[in-house]
């Protein structure tokens, strides 16, 4: 067994390797002036290799990921598993307008050609029931950080109201709330553009309550900011945020705090200063189960 990882995800990689008792090797990268990258792996690899690579900033990382997978095969890996805590391009699952490329379908085929199994956390799936459907002929496993985030919220804000900022986040809020005995509700979102959203709060009373917005991903932060402003305007005592994937592009985190959010907690799926919950136990258990099931 061996865990391969890139140098920008070593904190998570070291934790996962320690939990599994596996050796850890780092993919060395050298960037040429023209933008190409030279990759270097250990000269000899064991038969089973797991590659850890999150796909935040995906356009820059996909080429490296596919080249690393191909190189690992050449160097001895016969079974290759991808652990991608954040899996990009999952939201484009149908063509919304004529001619639009269904990115989820095509990325899934690329990953299925390169890897024997793919594990991820809280993928942004809408009209697809399981990750297996995205990976033709391969095994896909969609894990969740929602129970971990729910436990963290329950410790930090006992009795909090968990609020999903939109309908898509409802699935994670329900899981987190039910696992830890918290109340929950779901907002309605109308998106007018990448940075223009309107959020309508549910009828649930928020007056005097500590509200925690829980979502799978924070990208521009506009949805969270709109929901926070709405909750505070309705009389919430405080608003905090818990997210699985802390992308926080550009001024997103500043926008969220400017809307009145007190604290932001995230899982370590994406390296970020807000990381407060580790997905290492979930990933380690899933990898052990995967290996046991294939023996």
Backbone angles phi, psi at 228, to 5 degrees: -65, -45
The span from the CA of 29 to the CA of 293, in Å, is: 34
Q: Would you tell me the crossing angle of helices 170-180 and 146-156 to the nearest 10 degrees? A: 60
**CA distances to 46, 174, 217, 219, 265 from 227, in Å:** 49, 17, 14, 14, 16
What does the alpha-carbon distance between residue 235 and residue 146 come to, in Å, rounded to a whole number?
Answer: 26
57 sits in the region (left: phi over 0; alpha: psi -120 to 50; else beta) called left
Pairwise CA distance, residues 108 & 130, whole Å: 12
Catalytic residue annotation: 189
Report the C-alpha gap between 97 and 274 in whole angstroms.
Answer: 36
Rg (CA), the chain: 20
**Is 219 within 8 Å of 168 (Cβ atoms)?**
no
CA atoms within 13 A on the CB side of 24: 18
């Amino acid at each position: 067994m061996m865990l391969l990882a890139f140098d920008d995800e070593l904190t998570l990689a070291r934790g996962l390797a320690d939990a599994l008792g596996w050796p850890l090797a780092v993919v060395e990268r050298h960037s040429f002036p023209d933008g190409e990258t030279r990759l270097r792996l250990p000269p000899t690899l064991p038969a089973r290799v797991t590659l850890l690579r999150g796909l935040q900033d995906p356009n820059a990382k996909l080429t490296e990921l596919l080249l690393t997978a191909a190189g690992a095969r050449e160097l001895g890996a016969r079974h290759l598993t991808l652990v991608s805590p954040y899996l990009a391009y999952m939201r484009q699952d149908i063509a919304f307008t004529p001619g639009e490329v269904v990115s989820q379908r095509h990325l899934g085929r690329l990953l299925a050609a390169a890897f024997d199994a793919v594990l991820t956390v809280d993928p942004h799936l809408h009209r697809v029931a399981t990750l297996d459907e995205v990976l033709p002929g391969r095994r896909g496993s969609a894990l969740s950080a929602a129970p971990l985030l729910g436990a963290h919220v329950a410790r930090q804000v006992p009795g909090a109201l968990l609020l999903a900022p939109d309908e898509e986040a409802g699935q994670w809020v329900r899981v987190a709330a039910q696992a830890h005995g918290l109340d929950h509700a779901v907002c309605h979102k109308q998106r007018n553009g990448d940075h223009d959203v309107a959020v309508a709060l549910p009828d649930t009373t928020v007056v005097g309550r500590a509200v925690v917005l829980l979502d799978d991903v924070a990208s521009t932060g506009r949805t969270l900011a709109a929901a926070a402003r709405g909750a505070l305007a309705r009389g919430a005592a405080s608003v905090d945020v818990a997210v699985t994937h802390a992308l926080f592009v550009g001024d997103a985190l500043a926008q969220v705090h400017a809307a009145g959010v007190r604290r932001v907690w995230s899982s370590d799926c994406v390296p970020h200063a807000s990381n407060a919950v580790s997905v290492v136990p979930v990933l380690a258990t899933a990898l052990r189960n995967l290996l046991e099931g294939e023996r």
